[in-house]
Structure 1
Amino acid sequence: MSPDKPNTDADYESALNEHYGVPNLGDELLAALEAAGKDVDSLTRDDIASFDEFHIRGLEATQELAALAAVEDLSRVLDVGCGIGGPARTLASEFGCDVVGIDIVEEYCRAATLFTDRVGLTDKVCFQHGNALNLPFEDETFDVVWFEHMLLNIEAKGVALEEAARVLKPTGTLALYEICAGPGGDPVFPVPWAWDGSLSYLDSPRRLREIILDCGFDEVAWTDVTDLSLEWFRNVVESMHSRPADAPQPLGLNLLMGAETPIKAANVVQNLEEERITVVQGVYDRVNQP
């Protein structure tokens, strides 16, 4: 498939839902919380923090990117590829934003809505099912478009970025936190975002920056956070190895990644160590319509 044509076909959407969409995810997460002694009828963001943000460095990365992008109180944010809604809830509760989350994975949208209701943020955050390549919003609707570990599953990145530019206000901001291809060769699979290369579309940092600029953006900031990412994931793997074999299931990203979590995490560490992947943050201003 040509990278300049949107991949909106049913097979692609089905594959992403199969990869990410744990059946009855919200109920499964509630059951795990209850088993861990949490009051599921009175949850807080702290109660769900260990699995709430499905990306490298979790909450810290979201807070860091929001600061880098100078996200302001009362900004209207579109979180594209919102997952179960952790970043959207962070932006609403800590930065005063109104947030719309959109994701192609229906189970994520349902779980995101469930947990947003449980922590009392439905007045600031909402979610809907949709495709980043065909955003169901009017032109010039949002102050910020937010990507965290979203473009790695998209071949037609130019289309996604043109859509982001379209729905941004003329003075809007694109904030992204993405995994890119490194110089060390193809990634070792499986990883959290793909079982194999069929759903993994990583561009080099240089190529990604070129695509963004070509889509009508002006670069404000670009930071390589690969070393911080490697340190964080090494700690994740070390924590897994140190758990007794008979210990209860942890309240962590394993609830989203499944039984293969240790393998996926170890492969991410290997990919970072061998420079097969890099991790970057970027902030861009919308300067014109592509």
Structure 2
Amino acid sequence: MNDALDGVRDHYRATGLTERLKVALAVFGPEDQPLTPQQLAALDQFHTRGLAATAELANLAGIGAGMSVLDVGSGVGGPARFLAATEGCRVTGIDLSEAFVDAARYLTQRTGQTEQVSFHAASALELPFDDSRFDVVLLQHVAMNIADRTRLYREIRRVLKSGGRFATFDVVANGSEPHYPVPWARTPATSFLLTVDATHEAIEQAGFRTLVSQDDTEAAKAWIAQQRASGPPPSPNLSVVLGPDFAQLFTNLGRNLLEGRVGVLTAVFEASSTKTRIHMENRS
């Protein structure tokens, strides 16, 4: 497990990221000029369908004002800032990459949201929080980097209040090995995709029942096609975060979706009052 975590850290190492962001964001004006989460959307929404997917997941999860939300694998903090701004919730983000956490804190200062949003460097397998701390936990394009799903979902259940919501939006296996490199892994060594059924089983065994489950693969394909038709993305964009091979990573993601090698699952679960396995008879 340590080798896998080290490989994931290496993939997201992003040395000098905050300094690169400072240079890239100069297009918006001087350092002391406040930015909005929407201005940063092209570079801080590190998942398919970007801002729209974050907004839809928040709606499905029922996120509202005053709630305490944990974003596991928060990247450079885009979803956390967007949700705090639009829903009035308080968001805590954790990420394995210290460079991402530093960048997330810098961007949050730029948007003036440090009172609502905070970030910590931590592993999703050892969440540094007390039991029953959060109303909602989000997991967007993160689980495919984690081999020990049992431990991941049990940790998420531990920090959720009874009756709290766990919302996931992730790439899933679809029968064939993906083409690499992809945004979450440059080799198969750090890619741990599960099928939809295996994902549901692992989550339900951790003490959840399914509220919503939908296949968003076609929506992801449509988004990929739209991005291609629109030409080069506006600057600054995710290449600032992922580096010069971002175009290749994005191209392979689209190829894998179009060839049916991977799919996209959106699902929301409720934390049961007891941490025993819940059997679902009518899964959508």
TM, length-normalised to structure 1 = 0.91
How far is 1:257 from its partner?
1.9
Partner of 1:190: 181
* Partner-residue secondary structure (3-state), 1:169: strand
Partner of 2:85: 93
How far is 1:37 from its partner?
4.6
Deviations 1:48-101 (A, max 9, x none): 121111110111100000001111211101110000001111111111111110
Q: Which range moves more in the overlay, 16-25 or 165-174? A: 16-25
Matches within 5 A, 1:107-186: 107-183=99-175, 185-186=176-177
Contact 2:38 2:82 in 1 (8 A): no
Gaps of at least 5 residues in structure 1 are 1-6
CA distance in 1 between counterparts of 2:32 and 2:191 reads 38
Matches within 5 A, 1:13-52: 13-34=5-26, 36-42=27-33, 43-52=35-44
1:283 partnered with 2:274: no
Deviations 1:207-251 (A, max 9, x none): 101111111001000111111111112222344xx45xxxx9831
Partner of 2:249: 264
In 2 relative to 1, CA 262–97 (structure 1 residues): closer, same or farther, beyond 3 Å? same
Q: Which range moves more in the overlay, 45-54 or 199-208? A: 45-54
Contact 1:237 1:262 in 2 (8 A): no
The letter of the residue matching 1:224 is D
CA distance in 2 between counterparts of 1:172 and 1:249 reads 37
Fraction of identical pairs, as percent: 36
Contact 1:82 1:103 in 2 (8 A): yes
Q: Which range moves more in the overlay, 230-239 or 96-105? A: 230-239
CA distance in 1 between counterparts of 2:225 and 2:32 reads 34
The letter of the residue matching 1:74 is G
* Partner-residue secondary structure (3-state), 2:126: coil
Partner of 1:208: 199
Partner of 2:240: 255
Gaps of at least 5 residues in structure 2 are 277-284
CA RMSD of aligned residues (A): 1.5
* Partner-residue secondary structure (3-state), 1:278: strand
Contact 2:7 2:189 in 1 (8 A): no
Q: How many residues align?
A: 274
CA distance in 2 between counterparts of 1:197 and 1:61 reads 26
